[in-house]
Amino acid sequence: MNPNHLPSKQSSKTIIERFWHTSIDKAEHEPPNYKDFQLPLARIKRLMKVEEEVKMVASEVPILFSKVAEVFIEELTLRAWLNTEENKRRILQKNDLSAAVKTSDMFDFLIYIIPRSDLGQSLEQYDESEYGEQKKFNDRGGIEEIDR
């Protein structure tokens, strides 16, 4: 789904539902293309084998995994783009991704991976690191040391 062609008056929920209907329809009716992958299969196989219990991976599993990962990335990107449009911007930013993760419980596993940003506020959060240094998160998401 091309985010540049999203109707602006539709709700986010409607757009996401349409995305899923289109994705499911495509999966059910289009013949699978086993030659064209967006994600490298070798890397997917290697990631699957990181788990110690996984000794061998059937040849169709990385293909299925690749497609599932593509759809996951598309949905997360769509949700982030909807946040970008809601804020009347044309550039996707990391705080849009943070906001997208917060839109559904399904993405809870990402809250420790994707940097948290307090939308609408300056990031004047302080963090005591393991070394006892006090640090401040700047507006670009970087960390600055605070002079004492």
Helix/strand/coil (H/E/C) assignment for every residue in 26-52? HHHHCCCCCCCCCCCHHHHHHHHCCCC
Q: What pLDDT digit, counting tens, does each position of 61-74 carry?
A: 888 899 899 999 99
Domain over 3-117 is classified CATH 3.40.30.10: no
* Residue-wise pLDDT tens digits, 6-43: 545 578 889 999 999 999 998 888 887 777 788 888 89
CB within 8 Å of 24: residues ≥ 6 apart: none
Enter the tokens of residue 20.
């899923």
Q: Is the pLDDT of residue 145 over 70?
A: no
* Angle between helix 60-86 and helix 94-102 axes, rounded to 10 deg: 100
**Can you give the pLDDT at residue 125?**
38
Say if residue 142's pLDDT is above 60.
no
Q: Name the segment(s) of the chain with CATH classification 1.10.20.10.
A: 3-117
Residue 102 C-beta-side C-alpha neighbours within 13 Å: 13
Query: Angle 141-111-4 (CA atoms, 0-180°, nearest 5)?
Result: 70
Lowest mean pLDDT among 34-48, 83-97, 111-125: 111-125
Please determine, for residue 122, whether its predicted confidence score (pLDDT) is greater than 50.
no
Mean pLDDT, the chain, integer: 77
